[in-house]
């Protein structure tokens, strides 16, 4: 309390006593009643004075903070395959019901497979497991405080970044509880198979098969590649303890258009326990021709490399980087041209594209020669200011030319371009709007136009290489950004007429992967219709069984999840229930479950995670030892914390009560003695 406040309180006390004495004590006929009344009046005056001064006090409160015990449980199919589901369920029950652990820790339960979520019930139905998502996701939640983790898993990961290194992101000790047999059996398996997704008719495509062996003796087997009942390739292989892995490279002929299904199989040993991992199906889509894309530039820039990587990530497309004059000589070889920061050397390019009727995509930036570009075409005109500006991107949710996924553009770095207004002289569709400092501008950053049967697009900004890098930071992969660029390229390279119903799907899927088909439906004005009713009719080619599954609306598209469908070849039709539009196609679901490829728990990697994070690993039946270690670890003691608040005196309601009591007592005394 400040010294000035103390002085005010002393003054208030003196004034209160003085006023009370003046009103009652200084009378010539004072009595004991007057003394009592003066005390009550002085108390009332003093309380009012205190409330007016309103001094402030420090109030300290103490509380106990228990550490969190984070329990992350593997919900993948491998837990059932290794026959550990009942043990996991029992362990979860023991943790939830143990009185001592719940007194010492705040237990919080999560489950993980392909993603991470709160634990409500365990079904062990996740088709894949990404253990790294546990550390990445929970580190954001438990960045502060004490939060050791129990990681209940077999340690077998099927996709995602290596969790052995990802565990370092979690800033607390990790205690793996190893589920599964750690005994090593003799086992032959196909670890990995590399093959391109697409091949071209009459070409031979490469296949790379990695086969490994676990065991001590020398064994012989044979690798077979078959299609249907026909064996297309075979090779004898020999393995031993010192020669435990081999890679086999071969080529197969793409002899017909469509999806070709194959099966790679290593003949199992007589005493093998797990024969599921001895075979692996794969498929290749054979197409007639490749989409050739030319990136035309007279300068060097990181954007060019990023565009090439993003477009060529789809094997259906090839990309070449050419100078303007080089492109003119081979213009007929390309279905799409990307003009990167045009200048006056691009004049023959624009003339050639116009004469050939080719579609093109223009990207501008700080090195674009706008005086030339404004004169060379009439579709748009940029105000020339000789200044630059940074523009953020914001997705137009009403864009309806093709299905666009929001890549969280608001988190992307800005693109740099010419400052000034952009006038567009033809009908256009905005895909991305410009935004400056969070303020949306009614001007497109990326838009498309379609006139006279030709399609073109303009991206008014450079440095999209930063977008690809940010997409990786957001998602841990380049896939989403590459798909975004791929869909834009697919739209621009196509001459197909616009349809009221568009469907986005793959030709084949692995049986345990996400099988999601997306669609868009437009009204007669080609505006997205979010009130339509769409359904997919699936027909199994082998059994002729027909299933009808409705789509659900998801922002600016419709989606249907075909996860859990039996493997096989399917014909499908996506249709609106009112009969206005329909699209047909076919897809293959391969009979392959990656979660069934494991014979043992990956104890070595889980032990490494425990050692690197300051934890300790346990086996499935070590609950009592696990409990003892957690309770006795001094790092996880309950911490007493305090909070200090500055509280004004007026918040103490007891003062108002005392004021009312003193005034009431004074009034009652005066009334009782006939003074009023």
- DSSP assigned state of 25: I
> Over the stretch 24-58, which tens digit does the pLDDT of each residue have?
777 646 677 878 888 888 888 888 888 888 888 77
> Over the stretch 9-32, which tens digit does the pLDDT of each residue have?
888 888 888 888 888 777 646 677
User: Do 360 and 412 belong together in one domain?
Assistant: yes
Q: What is the CATH number of the domain that holds 263?
A: 2.60.40.10
266, 288, 310: which is the final residue of a domain? 288
User: Do 71 and 166 belong together in one domain?
Assistant: yes
User: Do 628 and 580 belong together in one domain?
Assistant: no
- Report, as an integer, the average pLDDT of 288-308: 92
Query: Which two structure tokens, joined as six digits, stand for 475?
Result: 């998602």
What does pTM read for this prediction? 0.64
Residue 28 confidence (pLDDT): 47
> Over the stretch 184-217, which tens digit does the pLDDT of each residue have?
778 899 988 999 888 888 889 999 999 999 888 8
User: Do 477 and 398 belong together in one domain?
Assistant: yes
User: Do 270 and 327 belong together in one domain?
Assistant: no
Share the mean pLDDT of the chain. 89
537 band by pLDDT with thresholds 50, 70 and 90: very high
Kindly list the distances between the CA atom of residue 68 and the CA atoms of 143, 148, 299, in Å, as whole numbers in the listed order: 12, 7, 56
Q: What is the CATH number of the domain that holds 485?
A: 3.40.50.880
- Report, as an integer, the average pLDDT of 242-256: 92
User: Do 154 and 246 belong together in one domain?
Assistant: no
Q: What is the CATH number of the domain that holds 172?
A: 3.40.50.410
- Report, as an integer, the average pLDDT of 66-83: 91
Residue 325 confidence (pLDDT): 93
User: Do 89 and 121 belong together in one domain?
Assistant: yes
Q: Give the percent of the chain with pLDDT over 90.
A: 50
Whole-angstrom distance, CA of residue 292 vs CA of residue 305: 16
> Over the stretch 124-150, which tens digit does the pLDDT of each residue have?
988 889 999 999 899 989 988 899 999
Highest mean pLDDT: which of 81-85, 605-609, 641-645?
A: 605-609
> Over the stretch 312-370, which tens digit does the pLDDT of each residue have?
988 889 999 999 999 999 999 999 999 999 999 999 999 999 988 889 999 999 999 99
Alpha helices in 54-199 (DSSP H): 77-81, 85-97, 99-104, 132-141, 163-166
Residue 608 confidence (pLDDT): 95
- pLDDT higher than 80, residue 181: no
Residue 266 confidence (pLDDT): 95
Whole-angstrom distance, CA of residue 556 vs CA of residue 503: 13
163 band by pLDDT with thresholds 50, 70 and 90: very high
Q: Give the percent of the chain with pLDDT over 70.
A: 98
496 band by pLDDT with thresholds 50, 70 and 90: low
Reported as half-sphere exposure (CB side, CA atoms, 13 A), residue 74 has a value of 33
DSSP letter for each residue of 416-464: EEE-S-EEE-S--EEEEEEEETTEEEEEEEEEEEEETTEEEEEEE-B-T
443, 462, 493: which is the final residue of a domain? 493
User: Do 651 and 633 belong together in one domain?
Assistant: no
Residue 337 confidence (pLDDT): 96
List beta partners, residue 558: 519, 553
Kindly list the distances between the CA atom of residue 583 and the CA atoms of 495, 525, 549, in Å, as whole numbers in the listed order: 18, 19, 15
- Report, as an integer, the average pLDDT of 599-626: 91
User: Do 299 and 312 belong together in one domain?
Assistant: yes
Whole-angstrom distance, CA of residue 566 vs CA of residue 563: 9
- Report, as an integer, the average pLDDT of 162-189: 89
- Tell me how many domains the chain contains: 5
426, 459, 493: which is the final residue of a domain? 493
User: Do 310 and 387 belong together in one domain?
Assistant: yes
Whole-angstrom distance, CA of residue 134 vs CA of residue 147: 13
List beta partners, residue 168: none
Domain ranges, residue 262:
187-288
Residue 462 confidence (pLDDT): 96
> Over the stretch 395-416, which tens digit does the pLDDT of each residue have?
998 887 888 888 889 899 999 9
CB 338 within 8 A of CB 359: no
């Amino acid at each position: 309390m400040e010294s000035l406040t103390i002085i005010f309180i002393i003054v208030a006390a003196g004034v209160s006593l003085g006023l009370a004495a003046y009103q009652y004590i200084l009378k010539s006929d004072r009595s004991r009643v007057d003394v009592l009344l003066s005390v009550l009046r002085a108390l009332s005056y003093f309380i009012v004075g205190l409330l007016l001064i309103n001094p402030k006090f420090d109030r300290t409160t103490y509380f106990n903070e228990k550490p969190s015990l984070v329990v992350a449980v593997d919900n993948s199919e491998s837990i059932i395959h290794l026959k550990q589901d009942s043990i996991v369920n029992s362990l979860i029950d023991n943790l939830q019901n143990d009185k001592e652990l719940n007194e010492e820790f705040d237990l919080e339960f999560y489950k993980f497979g392909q993603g991470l979520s709160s634990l409500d019930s365990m079904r062990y139905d996740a088709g894949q497991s990404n253990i790294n998502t546990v550390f990445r996701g929970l580190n954001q939640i438990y960045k502060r405080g004490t939060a050791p983790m129990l990681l209940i898993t077999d340690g077998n990961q099927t996709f995602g970044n290596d969790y052995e290194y990802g565990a370092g992101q979690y800033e607390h000790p990790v205690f793996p509880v190893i589920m599964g047999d750690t005994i090593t059996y003799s086992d032959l398996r196909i670890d990995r198979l590399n093959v391109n997704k697409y091949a071209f008719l009459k070409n031979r495509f490469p296949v790379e098969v990695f086969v490994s062996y676990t065991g001590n003796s020398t064994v012989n087997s044979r690798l077979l590649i078959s299609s249907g009942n026909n064996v297309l390739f075979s090779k004898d292989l020999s393995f031993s303890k010192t020669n435990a892995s081999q890679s086999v490279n071969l080529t197969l002929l793409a002899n017909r258009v469509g999806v070709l299904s194959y099966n790679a199989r290593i003949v199992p040993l007589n005493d093998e326990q797990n024969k599921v991992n001895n075979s692996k199906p794969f498929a290749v889509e054979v197409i007639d021709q490749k989409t050739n894309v030319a990136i035309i530039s007279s300068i060097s820039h990181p954007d060019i490399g990023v565009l090439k990587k993003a477009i060529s990530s789809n094997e259906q497309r090839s990309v070449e980087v050419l100078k303007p004059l080089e492109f003119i000589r081979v213009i007929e070889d390309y279905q799409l041209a990307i003009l990167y920061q045009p200048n006056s050397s691009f004049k023959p390019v624009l003339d050639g594209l116009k004469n050939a009727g080719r579609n093109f995509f223009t990207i501008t930036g700080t090195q674009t020669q706008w005086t030339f570009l404004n004169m060379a075409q009439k579709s748009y005109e940029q105000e020339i200011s000789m200044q630059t500006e940074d523009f953020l991107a914001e997705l137009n949710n009403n864009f309806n030319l093709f299905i666009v996924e929001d890549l969280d553009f608001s988190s992307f770095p800005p693109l740099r371009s010419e400052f000034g207004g952009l006038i567009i002289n033809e009908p256009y569709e905005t895909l991305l709007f410009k935004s400056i400092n969070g303020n949306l501008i009614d001007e497109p950053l990326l838009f498309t136009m379609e006139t006279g049967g030709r399609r073109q697009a303009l991206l008014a900004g450079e440095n999209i290489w930063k977008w690809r890098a940010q997409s990786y930071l957001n998602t841990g992969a380049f896939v989403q950004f590459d798909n975004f660029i791929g869909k834009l390229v697919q739209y621009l390279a196509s001459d197909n007429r616009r349809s009221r119903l568009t469907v986005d799907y793959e030709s084949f899927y692995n049986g345990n992967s996400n099988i999601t088909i997306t669609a868009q439906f437009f009204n007669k004005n080609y505006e997205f219709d979010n009130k339509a009713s769409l359904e997919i009719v699936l027909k199994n080619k082998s059994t002729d069984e027909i299933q009808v599954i409705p789509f659900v609306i998801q922002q600016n598209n419709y989606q249907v999840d075909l996860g859990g469908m039996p493997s096989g070849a399917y014909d499908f039709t996506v249709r609106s229930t009112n009969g206005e539009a329909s699209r047909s196609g076919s897809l293959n679901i391969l009979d392959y479950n990656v979660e069934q490829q494991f014979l043992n728990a990956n104890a070595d990697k889980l032990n490494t995670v425990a050692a690197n994070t300051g934890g300790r690993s346990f086996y499935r039946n070590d609950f009592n030892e696990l409990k003892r270690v957690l309770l006795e670890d001094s790092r996880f003691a309950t911490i007493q914390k305090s909070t200090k608040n500055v509280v004004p005196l007026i918040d103490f309601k007891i003062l108002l009560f005392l004021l009312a009591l003193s005034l009431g007592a004074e009034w009652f005394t005066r009334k009782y003695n006939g003074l009023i």
